[in-house]
Amino acid sequence: MVVSSTPGPDVVRIENVTKTFQIRKDNTLKDRLFHLGKLGRQHRSHYTAVDDVDVTIQAGTTVGLLGPNGSGKSTLLKIIGGIIAPSTGQILTRGRMAALLELGAGFHPDLSGRENVYLNASILGLTREETASRFDAIHEFSGIGEFIDTQVKFYSSGMFVRLAFAVAIHTEPDILLVDEVLAVGDEAFQRKCMDRIAKFRAAGCTIILVSHSAAQVQELCDRALVLNEGELVFDGDVNEGVSALRDVLEGRRVGELPKPDEDRPIEVTRISLHDGDGRDVESVRSGDPLIIRLHVRAREAMDRWETGFSIDTPLGQMLLAANTERLGIALPAIDAGDGHMDFRIDEVNLGAGQYFINANVSEIIDIDSHILWQGAKFNVLEETKNLGPLSARITAAS
């Protein structure tokens, strides 16, 4: 991923934005009439969806908004898009904006697809002449064919979304807001959407993307914002942002390592990483060797012990795991005190990105094991020509 060293001008300023919603506990008309007056306040509560967020986004930046369900991602995106107003603070934007939030908002069910293209494009800021000049491209991208002259109330949900997406992306926006819309449609259309967003990115469009797919964010974005319970808890590098999201999902403060379990006869104290010559490393290139050294501490002498490791993506998807039992390695007895065990990977066949290493140790594998989660992390430098978490040598011939 190539990122310009010279930041562009500010195009979005989120200045101390808070959004609070009032939630009523009396759901029926009878309840509301009964609780009128002074008691009414007792049957209302307030929920803060976005809590004092302050962020500046420069032109040409692709930002991924991450966070668990209910963290305020979609609410913040709607505030940026002007769909809802903040309770306090302000949003300042520059340039034409297209929001792929609730696709099809503004479509009329009794109008044809063609008529709705003109209607929706006008809502997004295009003149009739501009829409006419882009109509064929919109129609082709949507892939709905002859149904363009059918009333949209007879469309399938997939056809409806494809047409709405096609209209939105042909407005040539300066700022593109995307909220989980890439999860709709079939796989081919999703890939088509991803390719178009990648073209926007290459052309210098500013993109703010909400997604639950870490791989999608890592592929498209060069900056990550992580929200938790409405608060901004991380702002920075995408790979580190995905790691921060995992901390949030597992109930830890961002950057906090899990506490070790000290009730076992043997434990993993730390994990260190080394290249093929034994030098400490934090990054490797795809295809390089990697030595994973598990440092252990035995509280008593042990005739038998087993250990192992796994390599995970930032969101916890296991990519590789091994242990001494599976490898047929009989470890020598260990005295009370500190020791270590090396696992050597001859070739790290992983795609570019950040990875975490977990380790476990016990007298017998899977029985009363001590586990050190995310004891080490490393980066695979961007040398692979294929996408995804794995690296492979691929050739093509006609």
**Domain-wise residue ranges, the chain:** 1-95+174-256, 107-173, 266-380
pLDDT of residue 122: 86
Whole-angstrom Cα distance, residue 343 to residue 273? 10
What does the pLDDT average to over 352-380? 84
Four-point Cα dihedral 107, 109, 110, 116, nearest 10: 30
Place of tokens 């210098």: 204
CB-based contact 177:197 (threshold 8 Å): no
CA–chain centroid gap for 223, Å, is: 11
Cβ 347 vs Cβ 289: under 8 Å: yes
| Mean pLDDT of all residues belonging to the chain | 83
Distance of CA 246 to the CA centre of its chain: 10
Q: What's 1-95+174-256's CATH class?
A: alpha beta
In angstroms, the first-to-last Cα distance of the chain is: 29
The mean pLDDT of 318-345, rounded to a whole number, is 92
| CB-CB neighbours of 184 under 10 Å | 17
Q: What is the pTM of this model?
A: 0.65
Distances (CA, A) of 79 to 73, 74, 105, 107, 305: 10, 9, 16, 22, 56
Q: Which residue has the higher pLDDT, 189 or 114?
A: 114
Class of residue 254 by CB neighbours under 10 A (exposed 0-12, middle 13-18, buried 19+): middle
CATH of 266-380, one of 1.10.150.20, 2.70.50.60, 3.40.50.1100, 3.90.1570.10: 2.70.50.60
Question: Does residue 132 register a pLDDT over 90?
Answer: yes
When pLDDT is cut at 50, 70 and 90, the band that residue 181 belongs to is low
Highest mean pLDDT among 54-63, 169-178, 238-247: 54-63
- Residue 318 in this model has a pLDDT that exceeds 70: yes
Residue 370: pLDDT band by 50, 70, 90 thresholds? confident
What does the pLDDT look like over 77-90, one tens digit per residue? 999 988 889 999 99
Q: What mean pLDDT comes out for the span 300-313?
A: 92
Q: Among residues of the chain, what percentage have pLDDT more than 90?
A: 40
Q: Is the pLDDT of residue 258 over 70?
A: no
Residue 307 has pLDDT above 70, yes or no: yes
Helix H or strand E segment including 321: strand 318-323
User: Averaged over 238-263, what is the pLDDT?
Assistant: 70
Q: 345 falls in which pLDDT band (50, 70, 90)? A: very high
Question: Of 37-41, 96-100, 122-126, which range is least confident?
Answer: 37-41
Q: What percent of the chain has pLDDT over 70?
A: 83
Q: Residue 351 gets which letter from DSSP?
A: -
Strand order in the sheet with 337-345: 266-274, 290-298, 337-345
Rounded distance between C-alpha atoms, residue 171 and residue 173, angstroms: 6
Query: According to the model, what pLDDT value does residue 253 have?
Result: 62
* In the predicted structure, residue 140 carries a pLDDT above the cut 80: yes
Asked whether residue 4 carries a pLDDT value surpassing 50, the answer given is no
What does the pLDDT read at residue 294?
96
Locate 3 and state its tokens: 């990122």
pLDDT digits (tens, 9 = 90+) for 196-229: 888 888 888 999 988 777 767 877 788 999 999 9
- Order of strands across the sheet with 353-362? 283-284, 370-380, 353-362, 306-312, 318-323
Dihedral angle computed from the Cα positions of residues 16, 22, 23 and 26, in that order, rounded to the nearest 10 degrees: 170
Six token digits for residue 45 = 């509560």
Is a pLDDT exceeding 80 seen at residue 187?
no
Euclidean distance between CA atoms 151 and 167, whole angstroms:
16
More confident residue, 394 or 333: 333
- CA dist., res. 206 & res. 127, Å (int): 23
